[in-house]
Amino acid sequence: MNGDWLIRGRDGRLSVYLLSDDAVLCRAERGPDGTWDAPRKVGGEQRLHPVLAVGQGADGYAHLVSWRPTVSGEAGLVHSTHFRPRLAALDWAAIGHPNKKGARTGTPAVAVDAQGRAHVFVRNGGGGVSMVAQKVKGGWEPWRDLKGRDVQEELAAVTGESGRVELYAAVPDGILYWRQEKPGAQPALAETLEAPVRPGTLHAVATSPARTTLFFTDNAGYLCAWRPGGPPVTLLPAAGPGAVSAVRCELDGHDCTLLAQRAASGRVAFAAYPTEQESAGAWWTESGPVLPADAGVSLAVDADDEVVAATSAPSTGRLLLTRRKDEPGLALVAWREV
């Protein structure tokens, strides 16, 4: 899955999106008593490939994008909007293919602008990036080629605090960065960073009114942070393979960025530091049980502005959650299955 799959909905309830065979499932928090709904299929009976991108707008609506099989050997992208966690999502709607038709080309990414329009990005058949965006009054704009070359599988899309959409992509010798210069504009390639990047490790988050921060792992195994316009900063050794999850939150009255990653030990590792102050340092603290190799972790902030972490593994179907305790520091309650 690409993007944060644990989110706080418009009504304040938490929900998670999970892959299951040829479908996407949603589970939603019932209320403050800690109970959750049973899994529900999202978007109707459309069969899907095992891939999902999740994005969320300022309105709290979740936008989901996946690939569906079409004719033999070919696929097309589909989109659904989920307005509230405990309501049914819209049926999957076809949004096409970056090359008009063909096989699946890459894992999509989705970001939502200040007007609530989803922007879907995906690697195209030529190895560049293509984008399709929702129109203001419904429907979709034509597919657009954003260029690029030798783009790797997973992209990182993010919406800045300005409401403008940005995109990061890894290439063999570095990172490409696109941004909207004004609301509604087509994102343009704005900067290229030469840096060794481990594939599949990109994750971006808005960290100030004017900037977003990209986290990635370099070839030496170090987790790095990069804000366009400056050099990347080495933060600490990556806890394990794959991308981190990141969320901005308040810890003891300070604006912090919290990171989580499945560690090499199989447990979840957490690290926090003052937002955009990587020089302050960070270190990992492991928590919870040993998880399967396919387990993912996602972070969110709940209706009480407290941090929540979730893990899920397709191989087991188990969903585990923990929350920050009401005490100083980053102490967490015991992980529990829901």
What confidence score (pLDDT) does residue 183 get?
Answer: 86
The average confidence (pLDDT) of the chain is: 95
CA distance 53 to 244: 16
pTM of the model: 0.96
Confidence of residue 83 (pLDDT cuts 50, 70, 90): very high
What confidence score (pLDDT) does residue 330 get?
Answer: 87
CA distance 240 to 294: 12
What is the percentage of the chain residues whose pLDDT exceeds 90?
89
Least confident of 49-53, 83-87, 129-133: 83-87
Q: Phi and psi at residue 154, in whole multiples of 5°?
A: -100, 135
Q: Is pLDDT above 90 for 36?
A: yes
What confidence score (pLDDT) does residue 64 get?
Answer: 98
CA distance 254 to 220: 31
The 10s digit of each residue's pLDDT in 190-243 is 999 999 999 999 999 999 999 999 999 999 999 999 999 999 999 999 999 989
What is the percentage of the chain residues whose pLDDT exceeds 70?
100
The 10s digit of each residue's pLDDT in 196-207 is 999 999 999 999
CA distance 165 to 187: 7
Q: Is pLDDT above 80 for 160?
A: yes
What confidence score (pLDDT) does residue 204 get?
Answer: 98
Question: Rounded to 5 degrees, what angle do the CA atoms 96, 98, 99 make?
Answer: 105
What confidence score (pLDDT) does residue 93 get?
Answer: 97
CA distance 15 to 29: 6
CA distance 117 to 140: 10
What confidence score (pLDDT) does residue 18 get?
Answer: 95
